[in-house]
Structure 1
Amino acid sequence: MLTSALLAGSSVKAQATFPVNGITDTREGCYAFVKATIVKSPGVVLNNATLVIRDGRIVSAGGGPVPKDAVVVNCEGRYIYPSFVDLYSDYGTPPVKKASGGYRAAPQFISTTKGAFGWNQAVKSEVNAASVFSKDERTAESLRNAGFGAVLTHQQDGIARGTGVLVTLANERENKTVIREKASTHYSFDKGSSTQNYPSSLMGSIALLRQTFLDAQWYQSHPAKEGANLTLQAWNDSRSLPQIFEVQDKWDVLRADKIGDEFGVQYIIKAAGNEYQRMPEMVATKASFILPLNFPQPIDVEDPNEARFVALSDMKHWELAPTEPAAFEKANIPFCFTAAGLKDIKQFTAAVRKAIDAGLSEQKALEAVTLAPARILKAEDLVGTLDAGKLANFLVTSGPVFNESTVIYQNWIQGQQYNIKDDGWKDIRGTYTLSVGNTSYNVLIKGTASAPALSLLQQDTLAGSVTLEGQLVKLSFPLKKGGTQVRLSGVAGGQEWDGTGLDTTGKWVKWHAVFNAAYTPKDSTKSKTPQQPGKLYYPFNGYGWEEQPKQQDLLIRNATVWTNEQEGKLENTDVLVRNGKIVQIGKNLAAGNARVIDGTGKHLTAGIIDEHSHIAISRGVNEGTQSVTAEVRIADVINPDDVNIYRQLSGGVTASHLLHGSANTIGGQSQLIKLRWGADAEELKFAGADPFIKFALGENVKQSNWGDNQKERFPQTRMGVEQILTDAFTRALDYEKLGADKRKDLELETLLEILHSKRFVTCHSYVQSEINMLIKTADKFNFRINTFTHILEGYKVADKMKQHGAGAGTFSDWWAYKMEVQDAIPYNATIMQRAGLTVAVNSDDAEMARRLNQEAAKSIRYGDMTEEEALKLVTLNPAKLLHVADRTGSIKAGKDADLVLWSDDPLSIYAKAEKTIVDGIVYFDREKDLELRQRISTERNRLVQKMLAEKKKGTPVQKAAATAEEMYHCEDLQGGHQRGLKGGENEL
């Protein structure tokens, strides 16, 4: 034990800057920790070494003379490590309350923050953590006890969160513990405590970040035009600092990285914990990562009725999450650990051990809590290793720091000692020769330093007990099983102990013990074999691939081919696919090296294209907080893990047009994707397709059904919708006239793309009067409405739409679900088609999209449309509306091999998609699907048994719960309509 004597050794060094009520103590502490095993840095271990510190700094670590004025601390049998560093903490910052209310609360359009700050409360780049930091000794103590000596802390609130401050956990005034005032700057996609409406969606958060980058750039060169803006000034001032971005999901990593690439920023990513599912993409970001260790608990699956709702992906994540650090090590990605997210900081080292058990090397684990965070933060001059000149932040332990039995005795921070566990500092474990009277025994003391255990070594090893209180030692042991105890007490004087006691006959005896050799505990971190968990799936879903599918040449032989071209329907015909393209259509084609698929008795069509979809979108389909949000992009929020991609492949869908919702007059930019199940967001995008945007008219736009509080956002009437459109395009034209030296406005840039026919409009619409209004407004500004979607009164104005050059995407027979659709009729599609319009039937619904072939067939019943024209409603016509008919939508040589092989006539309710092919890759195969269902069942059962075993061992478990899916429609606001449930025995 170190005592108050450690305060000896001093010399006058620094002047006091704070007044002292009493006598000023200007002594500096000089200490020499000798005979220690010093782990100077990961992989650099010094045996029987000396650590010298003075005035809170390290003087040397290794050999050399001990200073004359040093207090010498004998650390024989002890280990010394650098104290841990955490880069993601909110230690000492004010607690922040999340925003509440949402759409049912009265809207707030502009920040209410007082002062010369920016317009949006979610952007708080002016916050300086050093200014709000206040020492919290209770929290500091818990962090010290877990091994931490320094943390990077910031106020975890908002999209731009201001600067972080690097502080030590010393129990000193803030001015002494702050070691780097502005050490980092922080971001997220979470608006935090902002009560402002915008943004209400993930795509809105991304758009706000993007626009703020542009505004800050402009402000830097035009401060006089903007006026004072402390938010933008702080944003610019902190650009040179390490930039840390917190994410909620592996796909958020790629979203943040893309923004960083746009503006020349390399973010440090505070990870979500599921990045192991997409390691190639993580490598491609070239980012450093801060990895949390809050691995999920096993799920309580004892009740089968509850367990059946748990998604297989949740079960697999429980098993695979601890492998994330090992995956990062294997991929050679720089990373460090954070305690953020742990319910109990005491579990930190146990969580590190769990990662080690899952394959992480011990050296990399140590690096992740010492050198790596220092290096990532560019604070290697201060912390992370035990090099001369750095802060004297170090741990004194009983053994290897991640060994399960190791005790952290002390945590020294800035040269100050903090006792963590007093008992066990004097480690008496080892082998002894014990003489009792005239008899000698061999004794082994093992266990832990704080809880030693005695064994008498003879033919039958016998267990005894030993206790040490200060210098007083007590021993007891039997000489035979069940025999009388020898009871001894005395003084432990280093290498030799002496005392008196009673032998087995009750006779007083003298005893003497001589220390022979130290006990070396078995390293529990090395004794365990890394887990062999289940395989990764791509996507991380029961129906994901173990390996991504590869393109192959195909010959579909002897099918009924619906070409959608002049050739019409061809019986007993072959289609040859090479390199993802249709190369030949005919009879008895040579297969060559192509895989042959027997189409006898089956039907082959072009893949179904859903012109109006809301699948595969993350965290909100509407940014409905403003009347015009042309700056937001569905492309930013694609969710490749959405099981609806697979489900719709099973219904023959090969492409989907992902639209913003209908909450505002001019909504966000849409994204056309191909359903390449297993691909990432960029690979899903239909490359080279023309860009589109979503407009809306009617009840949703004027907020008829938004509640009584929503009476402030303009427009509130259908007349106001026209004025919003006129105002938006007038502003865009005025903006264009400002010339090159203007502040780039992403909203207005997008509107100019429309005016210059570089972006095309899809408009949510119902009532004929509004359809007429929008046509006239578009004519006034000399642009065209590409597609009126829904358009349930289109049959009334088909002639005007034809004259304007618009197409139509409609439902087959949906009506009566709100007031403005009362005049809908099932003959709508046929009437518009006969008027000469390009007409598509779409879904606006994840479930309906699986049956679009049947939706198309309804127009045969309602209007006597021909079979081939009906099929075009969901294939060639949507391709035409989306400007991709030259690449897909029909079976023609040179087009993309987006094909569906049906078991029956594709317009029959009995038809099943047996194989769905995109770019020549079979993404859905009904026979393979049956195998996957069996795999799901087997994998679920394996994981259930594993979780039951964990519960039986006493491991804490979490309650079984279903995971809600994000499933959206046009009208869904703020997070959307989570209707589906992931999980069950069958995820399809």
Structure 2
Amino acid sequence: MKPNLLQQKPQRYGSRLTHARYRSVLGAIGLLLAGLGASAQQTWPVNGVADPKEDCYAFTHATIVKDAQTTLNNATLVIRDGKITAVGASVAIPKDAVVIDCKGKFIYPSFVDIYSDYGMPAVQRRSFSGFGGGGGPQFLSNTKGAYGWNQAIKSEVNAVQLFTVDDTKAKSLREQGFGAVLTHQNDGIARGTGALVSLAAERENKTVLLPKASAHYSFDKGSSTQDYPSSLMGVIALLRQQYLDAQWYKSGPTKEGLNLSLQAWNDNQSLVQIFDAGDKWNALRADKIGDEFGVQYVIKAGGNEYQRIPEIAATKAAYILSLNFPQATDVEDPNDARFVALSDMKHWELAPTAAGAFEKANIPFCLSAADLKDAKSFLANLRKAIEYGLSEQKALEALTKTPATLIKAYDKVGSLDAGKIANFLVTSGPVFAENTIIHQNWVQGNKYALKEDGWKDLRGSYVISFNNVNYPVEIKGTPASLSLSNKDSIAGKIEVDGQLVKMVVNNSKDGKQQLRLSGVIGSDNTWSGSGSNEAGVYSNWTATFSKPFVAKADTAKKKTAPELGKVYYPFVGYGYETLPKQEDILIRNATVWTNEKEGKLEGADVLVRNGKIAQIGKGLSAGNARVVDGTGKHLTPGILDEHSHIAISRGVNEGTQSVTSEVRIADVVNPDDVNIYRQLSGGVTSSHLLHGSANTIGGQSQLIKLRWGANAEQLKFQNWDGFIKFALGENVKQSNWGAAQRVRFPQTRMGVEQVLADAFTRARDYEKAGANKRRDLELDALVEILNKKRFITCHSYVQSEINMLLKTGDRFGFKVNTFTHILEGYKVADKMKAHGAGASTFADWWAYKMEVVDAIPQNAAIMQRVGLTVAINSDDAEMARRLNQEAAKSVKYGAVNEEDALKMVTLNPAQLLHVADRIGSIKTGKDADLVLWSDHPLSIYAKAEKTMVDGIIYFDREKDLELRSRIAAERNRLIGKMLGDKKKGLPTQKATPSREEIYHCEDLHAGHQHHILHDAEQGTNNQ
């Protein structure tokens, strides 16, 4: 065997080669080969002959858009082995490069999408409606292994371990210009990590660019079959607890041992945090969670954030905007049209303005194809967004640099700089222009031909020579869609497929004289081939270029931004174009029901300044105040509904566990609920939003003022004592839940007492444990009760249970602030008084279930005579619009005097809620929450003419009539616009009724009961 060169002895090189020199040469050769070997080594076996060559390409004479701010003319891009090696106007072309002439072409960075589930396994999703997996309650996770207790927390999931190349889906994304995506498993509340992958048709190990680039979260349980959480407020509570538990777990060993979910959660905090909010209010909710725990999320938007741009800008977050615009609704049938809410119609019109609105407000954002039913609509929708206000420069930035920067991958993708991955597009013109063609999408240095027809512009004048006769023709159209005509402009046909061409040249209008030709297009723009004429003569032919194509001057009008409707606050038919402002108002010569020792004042004046009641008297000077004539009218304090479930998003009950004191209505206030406006029309100015009655200890409540048009935080009643909802009876022990719900404790009224005793025993022990304990949000709330910092309002009916809770309170040292419903309160009023409890009851509800059979309409009056503070509440969105009439029932049934009856819906609930120093009566210094009635406020004929909160008139009956006219006009305009889309052949969706969430105490599931919005979103047709 012939020895290896490096094994031969030194004398082979002659006597002049010393041993030292030999060793030096040997070392140099070894290093060289080692370097070559290192670059070529791989772990994958090769079935055949190894081919270690490097691909090198030079794209010359192109307009290169390096990034949104930098464009190079007549420039060259050089790539080698999947990377960009050089880019510029004077770049040396490597000798081994394949040169591609891109004269007339544009080169752009391929787009980056940082919200995708590309290559992820399909997930069986579930909605919020329903508990467990259908076979009864499921309290703990079914996930096998040392993971956390809740199945919707999947922090340990890593997309890179699930990722599989899917070239069919990759192809559809490449066609829209994408070269890389951030993919993750779209499942659960905590979804684990995402991986940045290219869209190349290569093995997974080659296409993964960043194995762990991001951590993902949402407000959606996804595929979890576990009961908890069943509501949005439960999801938020779980997320907050998870952050706390992760901090606690990080501090040292725990009694529970290994928890891979918490460990992964902590590991993932160093990554970019992406939150799928999916809605404008959820975006603000997510940001609030982030603020609490020092996390700045990148927020995946839902498409309606343009409706609240100031609030969105205040989050300081970057956003991912999907270009998934709603289709027009088929409203040709007027019976269908009247069930489609105006808000849905307006969103259809205004959704394409979102990206432009973000740009105008300087909110950082990137664009995504997420949520599109078909990725092929992405570029069309992007052009629509540009038409509706988005600049082309910002669009390119939002598809390249911004997403790459957000996930810390700008060193790899997002621009055309040396050293970055060779992901780029070759286009026929500016990438967002209507007729521009994306010819090629190069991903990791691999060419993916998309539409190469028209790569070379063949348009111009030619002379075809056939059988010694010349035929002048003109080829025009677009580079990718050519047309042909002869010198008399008689149309023919032309088909180009690469270098092959087929033509039909018509030389008479009747088509009887024609040439049928086929051939090839030469590199020097000479064409040749063979064909025949109408006489059947076969001959060779050539076509010689004679004159370049000159496009006609574009006389067509450029697209202008379409005329659009305005954004309303809130975004429903009765919203404001501009929010009403506080003003100084003098209400003159009214009958004033003060609810104070002065009683009822006839012909009195009330002056409002700076949102407060400034003066009460007669003949007051108006000064600069607006004067409202109250002659023949009645002025009362605003009505306070002590028990309401309006303005709550995605579930009023977290009924999955016996104790859920960690959940908060404050987290899910919904400012868009039209019931706020409807109740203003009935004189309501404040509402106490309660958790439902599905469990013994429910969630924390929220008092709001009905500031129609304000955001969720602005609705909240500031600086009030926190309350929490308890419940007793049938709902709690699940008597009416069905046979499948026979697992959760308690199942008897006796068990309810034990749940309470256990909860407060645990709370006492928790408080004694000191500062270095695991923080438990459930027990935090119970400790607040024990320390008289949070107060109980309890759903109750039966006297035995009322007695039980009073005794339990005495045992653990807490008071029940309010018994709500309390339909047997007349039996135990003396005991309630001794305890210090108040009552909030129905006026005359009874016989709607077994535990209310002893209800009587005199209940409120009897409790009041015993000395209890008694309020009348609604527990119903419709009844709340008529609480003045509910109060009047105690005059009829219980002979309560009129002023005391009015107090049952004004001052008394204010006392129960500890805010009587600010609202509930007309007194100097109190908040100007007032109602001007057309008639006696306890009369069925009384209408609220003006309802004022903090000196701002939020409901005005005259203005309401104007709004109805505006709604009708706006609906007609949008219906006409939708019909126009249908006539143009644009896709439409079937008309479906728009629905609103309406909740009551006993509603178990998110979205349990819906009302249909129709006829211009009925707002105030009460009374």
User: Is the TM value for this pair above 0.5?
Assistant: yes
Tell me which of 910, 930, 942 is aligned to 1:879.
910
Amino acid of the structure 2 residue aligned with 1:74: D
Q: Report how far residue 523 of structure 1 moved.
A: 10
Q: Tell me the equivalent position of 1:466.
A: 494
Is contact 1:490-1:497 (8 Å) kept? no
Q: Tell me the equivalent position of 2:408.
A: 378
Q: Which moved more, 1:510-519 or 1:952-961?
A: 510-519
Matched, 1:961 2:984: no
Is contact 2:193-2:216 (8 Å) kept? yes
Q: Report how far residue 436 of structure 1 moved.
A: 5.0
For the residues of structure 1 that align with 2:337 and 2:893, how far apart are their CA atoms?
45
Q: Quick one: structure 1 residues 976 and 79, their matched pair in 2 at CA, closer, same or farther if it must change by over 3 Å?
A: closer
Q: Which moved more, 1:976-985 or 1:738-747?
A: 976-985
SS at 1:593 equivalent: coil
Tell me which of 92, 95, 101 is aligned to 1:68.
95
Q: Tell me the equivalent position of 1:4.
A: none
Q: Report how far residue 214 of structure 1 moved.
A: 0.3
Tell me which of 275, 282, 296 is aligned to 1:245.
275
Is contact 2:462-2:474 (8 Å) kept? no
Is contact 1:503-1:509 (8 Å) kept? no
Unaligned stretches of 5+ residues in structure 2: 1-35
Q: Tell me the equivalent position of 1:3.
A: none
Q: Tell me the equivalent position of 2:647.
A: 616
Q: Quick one: structure 1 residues 766 and 525, their matched pair in 2 at CA, closer, same or farther if it must change by over 3 Å?
A: farther
Q: Quick one: structure 1 residues 622 and 521, their matched pair in 2 at CA, closer, same or farther if it must change by over 3 Å?
A: farther
Q: Tell me the equivalent position of 1:559.
A: 590
Q: Which moved more, 1:973-982 or 1:243-252?
A: 973-982
Residue deviations 1:749-776, cap 9 Å, x none? 1100000000000000000011011011
Q: Quick one: structure 1 residues 272 and 442, their matched pair in 2 at CA, closer, same or farther if it must change by over 3 Å?
A: farther
Is contact 2:508-2:514 (8 Å) kept? no
Residue deviations 1:458-510, cap 9 Å, x none? 7x755433222443434444567667446655542234324477789999796
Q: Report how far residue 422 of structure 1 moved.
A: 4.1
Q: Report how far residue 964 of structure 1 moved.
A: 1.5
Tell me which of 357, 367, 382 is aligned to 1:337.
367
Tell me which of 694, 717, 724 is aligned to 1:663.
694
Amino acid of the structure 2 residue aligned with 1:47: N
The list of structure 1 runs, each at least 4 consecutive aligned residues, that deviate by more than 6 angstroms after superposition, is: 437-442, 500-509, 518-526
Matched, 1:318 2:374: no
Amino acid of the structure 2 residue aligned with 1:72: V
Is contact 1:406-1:448 (8 Å) kept? no
Matched, 1:58 2:84: yes
Tell me which of 341, 345, 350 is aligned to 2:380.
350
Q: Tell me the equivalent position of 2:579.
A: 548
Q: Report how far residue 527 of structure 1 moved.
A: 3.4
SS at 1:260 equivalent: helix
For the residues of structure 2 that align with 1:249 and 1:867, how far apart are their CA atoms?
46
Q: Report how far residue 270 of structure 1 moved.
A: 0.7
Q: Quick one: structure 1 residues 519 and 269, their matched pair in 2 at CA, closer, same or farther if it must change by over 3 Å?
A: farther
Is contact 1:446-1:519 (8 Å) kept? no
Matched, 1:688 2:719: yes
SS at 2:138 equivalent: coil
Q: Tell me the equivalent position of 1:939.
A: 970
For the residues of structure 2 that align with 1:897 and 1:879, how far apart are their CA atoms?
14
Amino acid of the structure 2 residue aligned with 1:263: F
Q: Tell me the equivalent position of 1:702.
A: 733
Tell me which of 114, 126, 131 is aligned to 1:102.
131
For the residues of structure 2 that align with 1:133 and 1:761, how far apart are their CA atoms?
50
Matched, 1:630 2:664: no
Tell me which of 768, 789, 809 is aligned to 2:799.
768
Is contact 1:667-1:694 (8 Å) kept? yes
Is contact 1:633-1:668 (8 Å) kept? yes
Q: How do 1:246-265 and structure 2 match up within 5 A?
A: 246-265=276-295
Q: Report how far residue 512 of structure 1 moved.
A: 3.9
For the residues of structure 1 that align with 2:849 and 2:626, how far apart are their CA atoms?
50
Amino acid of the structure 1 residue aligned with 2:73: N
Q: Report how far residue 783 of structure 1 moved.
A: 1.1
Q: Quick one: structure 1 residues 777 and 65, their matched pair in 2 at CA, closer, same or farther if it must change by over 3 Å?
A: same
Q: Report how far residue 368 of structure 1 moved.
A: 1.8
Q: Tell me the equivalent position of 1:171.
A: 201
SS at 1:923 equivalent: strand
For the residues of structure 1 that align with 2:479 and 2:869, how far apart are their CA atoms?
82
Q: Tell me the equivalent position of 1:365.
A: 395
Q: Larger radius of gyration, structure 1 or 2?
A: 2
Residue deviations 1:409-435, cap 9 Å, x none? 22211111122234333x234323536
Amino acid of the structure 1 residue aligned with 2:78: V
SS at 2:793 equivalent: strand
Residue deviations 1:26-69, cap 9 Å, x none? 21111111122222111322222111001110111223110011
For the residues of structure 2 that align with 1:518 and 1:231, how far apart are their CA atoms?
66
For the residues of structure 1 that align with 2:253 and 2:55, how far apart are their CA atoms?
50
TM norm structure 2:
0.93
Is contact 1:431-1:442 (8 Å) kept? no
Is contact 1:616-1:639 (8 Å) kept? yes
Matched, 1:758 2:789: yes
Amino acid of the structure 2 residue aligned with 1:741: N
For the residues of structure 2 that align with 1:183 and 1:526, how far apart are their CA atoms?
46
Q: Tell me the equivalent position of 1:200.
A: 230
For the residues of structure 2 that align with 1:482 and 1:606, how far apart are their CA atoms?
88
For the residues of structure 2 that align with 1:420 and 1:285, how far apart are their CA atoms?
40
For the residues of structure 1 that align with 2:873 and 2:431, how far apart are their CA atoms?
61
Q: Report how far residue 836 of structure 1 moved.
A: 0.4
Tell me which of 526, 548, 570 is aligned to 1:497.
526
For the residues of structure 2 that align with 1:125 and 1:522, how far apart are their CA atoms?
59
Amino acid of the structure 2 residue aligned with 1:588: G
Q: Tell me the equivalent position of 2:33.
A: none
Q: Which moved more, 1:483-492 or 1:761-770?
A: 483-492
Q: Quick one: structure 1 residues 940 and 423, their matched pair in 2 at CA, closer, same or farther if it must change by over 3 Å?
A: same
Q: Quick one: structure 1 residues 747 and 482, their matched pair in 2 at CA, closer, same or farther if it must change by over 3 Å?
A: same
Q: Report how far residue 172 of structure 1 moved.
A: 1.4
Matched, 1:38 2:68: no
For the residues of structure 2 that align with 1:334 and 1:454, how far apart are their CA atoms?
48
SS at 2:40 equivalent: coil
Matched, 1:896 2:927: yes
SS at 1:244 equivalent: strand
Is contact 1:969-1:977 (8 Å) kept? no
Q: How do 1:576-595 and structure 2 match up within 5 A?
A: 576-595=607-626
Q: Tell me the equivalent position of 1:79.
A: 106
Identity of aligned residues (%): 70
Q: Quick one: structure 1 residues 511 and 463, their matched pair in 2 at CA, closer, same or farther if it must change by over 3 Å?
A: same
Q: Quick one: structure 1 residues 490 and 642, their matched pair in 2 at CA, closer, same or farther if it must change by over 3 Å?
A: same
SS at 2:416 equivalent: coil
Matched, 1:234 2:264: yes
For the residues of structure 1 that align with 2:396 and 2:325, how far apart are their CA atoms?
18
TM norm structure 1:
0.96
Is contact 1:201-1:975 (8 Å) kept? yes
SS at 2:979 equivalent: helix
Q: Tell me the equivalent position of 2:116.
A: 89
Q: Tell me the equivalent position of 1:639.
A: 670
Q: Report how far residue 448 of structure 1 moved.
A: 3.4
Is contact 2:84-2:416 (8 Å) kept? yes
Q: Report how far residue 452 of structure 1 moved.
A: 1.2
Residue deviations 1:128-172, cap 9 Å, x none? 111111222222222222221111111111100000011111111
Is contact 1:626-1:664 (8 Å) kept? yes
Q: Report how far residue 950 of structure 1 moved.
A: 0.4
Q: Report how far residue 111 of structure 1 moved.
A: 1.1
Amino acid of the structure 1 residue aligned with 2:683: G
Q: Which moved more, 1:98-107 or 1:395-404?
A: 98-107
For the residues of structure 1 that align with 2:533 and 2:747, how far apart are their CA atoms?
97
Q: Quick one: structure 1 residues 258 and 583, their matched pair in 2 at CA, closer, same or farther if it must change by over 3 Å?
A: same
Q: Quick one: structure 1 residues 246 and 498, their matched pair in 2 at CA, closer, same or farther if it must change by over 3 Å?
A: closer
Q: Tell me the equivalent position of 2:27.
A: none
Residue deviations 1:874-898, cap 9 Å, x none? 0000000000000000000000000
SS at 1:980 equivalent: strand
Q: Report how far residue 88 of structure 1 moved.
A: 0.9
